[in-house]
Chain A
Amino acid sequence: EDKVVQSPLSLVVHEGDTVTLNCSYEVTNFRSLLWYKQEKKAPTFLFMLTSSGIEKKSGRLSSILDKKELFSILNITATQTGDSAVYLCALHSGAGSYQLTFGKGTKLSVIP
Chain B
Amino acid sequence: EAQVTQNPRYLITVTGKKLTVTCSQNMNHEYMSWYRQDPGLGLRQIYYSMNVEVTDKGDVPEGYKVSRKEKRNFPLILESPSPNQTSLYFCASSLSRFTANTGELFFGEGSRLTVL
Contacts and interface: CB of A to CB of B under 8 A. Distances in A.
A102 B48 contact: no
Interface majority SS on A: helix, strand, loop or mixed?
Answer: strand
B42 A105 contact: yes
B58 A99 contact: yes
B41 A104 contact: yes
Contacts of A90: 43, 103
Contact of B43 (A32, A88, A98): A88
Looking at A34, A98, A101, A103, the one whose CB has the most chain B CB atoms below 10 A away is A98
B85 to A, nearest CB: 19
B101 interface: yes
Given A92-B102, A104-B42, A41 B50 contact: no
B48 A48 contact: no
Nearest to B99: A48
B109 A42 contact: yes
Interface string A5-48: 00000000000000000000000000110100000011111001
Given A42-B110, A43-B107, A99-B58, A32 B102 contact: yes
A102 B42 contact: yes
Interface of A: 31-32, 34, 41-45, 48, 50, 88, 90, 92, 98-105
What 9 pairs across the A-B complex have the smallest Cβ distances? A42-B107, A34-B103, A102-B43, A104-B42, A102-B42, A98-B100, A43-B107, A48-B102, A41-B109
12 contacts: A31-B101, A32-B103, A42-B90, A42-B107, A45-B104, A90-B43, A99-B45, A99-B48, A99-B58, A100-B43, A100-B105, A104-B41
Given A42-B110, A43-B90, A103-B42, 17 more contacts: A32-B101, A34-B102, A44-B107, A45-B106, A48-B102, A48-B104, A50-B102, A88-B43, A98-B31, A98-B48, A98-B56, A98-B100, A99-B45, A99-B58, A101-B59, A102-B43, A105-B42
